[in-house]
Amino acid sequence: MSTTYTVPIGPVHVGLKEPVTAWLDLEGERIVGAKIRPGAIHRGIEFMARERNPIQVIYLSERICGICSFSHVIAFIRAIEDLAGLKVPPRAQYIRTLVLELERVHSHLLWAGVACYTIGFDSAFHLGMQMRERVMDVLELLTGNRVNYGVATFGGVRWDVTPELAKAMREMIRYYRREFTPFREIVMADPVAQARMRNVGVLTRDEAVRYSAVGPTARASGLRVDLRKSSPYEAYADIPVEPVVPQDYFGAAHGDVLDRFAVRVLEVYQSLDIMDAALDGLPEGPYVAEPNVNKVLASLKKAEGTGWGIIEAPRGDDTHIVSLKGGDDNVFWWKVRAPTYANAVSWPLMFRGNELADAPLIINSIDPCISCMERMMVTDGGGDPLIVTKTELLERCRRKTFDLGSGIRTKGAGTGGLEGGTTK
């Protein structure tokens, strides 16, 4: 078998939730080479943000992603709050934590279902989808929406957790504690699922460090990384969170798809505990610092500077950096670094020694959110793509630094920088 086929997985593929293309070189069923080609779903959201004021951008940031929309919102809002020095009342912080954890449950359940679907285990997929309805019902009860909740605002949240909602949430937590365990056991004890997920898409601990994997992908490789512990935000300072790593539960971390499954599944239980604790400790008081949006906008118009917001999204670290210019209504610039961007570079490693049958599962195993990831397109303005290699980019950066340092700005050749390869 020396013939090598090149087979694309994607951009539109039954096994994938979002468009990304993996060009696989196959010898028979074995993968001998893999190239990942994203670029099918770039929408230029950051550019759109430059024509909107920060309040409008909240709802724009929600549209970066469907399922982890709230993480993006919170990361964006925290970045603005960071630069403008806005204070958030404790009750709002707790409510944000609650919604973040609801979203984590939502996201992990969806992922677990889709992972089962990818290996042809449709029954578990339908079970997972059915369980996911409950958390979506609770989110709908709180916010009126099943996805894209529109619940957060600067200096707080827009909806309060009423006693009825707290009751519904407690009921939901009880429901998941009861119903989720059978699901976990059905999948993790199933011999076929074991055969499909064990030792597939392995990312070792060292590689996870070297390729800066984040979130459940890194934790499945045995790294104790969780921003909720290392850099607590919102209510996580009050509620202790331990990173879920497979070696604590199963003795050893394999870094394979089954470990990623286990980490996500166990994180659902952790989220339920966090929600319980947050409901117990929900402080009294206002849930938004300044309910008048116009006043907030006026204060943001005066604000100037760059703010950071980094949170632990269901898929890993979500970083937003926002800059505002004093006297300007609109967002000056905004940079989003979604977890998938960090995790996607590990894909070629995970493909090593695996088979075509594993490819969609491996792609799904990092829970990719391509629409989160695609923040940049390299273009020449005329429509012809200009690809700058890493070495070239490094060379240009050095030249620019050199030029800046020497204070000599020569015209034409040598100005370097990112001219030509415009990055936005």
**Contact set with another protein (CB under 8 A):** 5-7, 13-15, 26, 28-29, 116-124, 126-127, 130, 190, 192-193, 195-196, 355-360
Q: CB of residue 133 vs another protein: minimum separation in angstroms?
A: 11
Residue 68 corresponds to which tokens in the numbers above? 């982890």
Q: CB of residue 379 vs another protein: minimum separation in angstroms?
A: 31
Backbone dihedral region of 413: left (phi > 0), alpha (psi from -120 to 50 degrees) or beta?
A: beta
Q: CB of residue 52 vs another protein: minimum separation in angstroms?
A: 39
Task: Return the number of the residue (108 or 196) whose C-beta is nearest another protein.
Answer: 196
Q: CB of residue 16 vs another protein: minimum separation in angstroms?
A: 9
Residue 108 corresponds to which tokens in the numbers above? 């992990």
Q: CB of residue 28 vs another protein: minimum separation in angstroms?
A: 7
CA 89 to CA 103: how far, in whole Å? 21
Could you give the maximum distance between any two Cα atoms of the chain, in Å? 70
Q: Torsion angle of alpha carbons 96, 97, 101, 104, nearest 10°?
A: 70
Task: Return the number of the residue (195 or 393) whose C-beta is nearest another protein.
Answer: 195
Q: CB of residue 382 vs another protein: minimum separation in angstroms?
A: 33
CB neighbours (10 Å) of residue 296?
A: 22
Task: Return the number of the residue (197 or 288) whose C-beta is nearest another protein.
Answer: 197
Task: Return the number of the residue (201 or 360) whose C-beta is nearest another protein.
Answer: 360
Angle between the 122-143 and 163-188 helix axes, to the nearest 10 degrees?
170
- Name the H helices within 189-256: 191-197, 205-210, 215-220, 227-230, 246-250
* Type of residue found at 229: K
Task: Return the number of the residue (101 or 358) whose C-beta is nearest another protein.
Answer: 358
Q: CB of residue 315 vs another protein: minimum separation in angstroms?
A: 20
Residue 105's contacts (CB-CB under 8 Å, 6 or more residues apart) are 135, 176, 268, 271, 272
Task: Return the number of the residue (80 or 362) whose C-beta is nearest another protein.
Answer: 362
Residue 113's contacts (CB-CB under 8 Å, 6 or more residues apart) are 124, 125, 126, 127, 128, 129, 132
Task: Return the number of the residue (28 or 240) whose C-beta is nearest another protein.
Answer: 28
The CA R_g of the chain, rounded to the nearest whole Å, is: 23
Q: CB of residue 189 vs another protein: minimum separation in angstroms?
A: 12
* Type of residue found at 188: M
Q: CB of residue 167 vs another protein: minimum separation in angstroms?
A: 26
Task: Return the number of the residue (193 or 239) whose C-beta is nearest another protein.
Answer: 193
Residue 416's contacts (CB-CB under 8 Å, 6 or more residues apart) are 396, 397, 399, 400, 403
**With contact defined as beta carbons under 8 Å apart, do 364 and 34 qualify?**
no
Task: Return the number of the residue (198 or 398) whose C-beta is nearest another protein.
Answer: 198
CA distances for 124 relative to 177, 180, 217, 341, angstroms: 17, 11, 22, 29
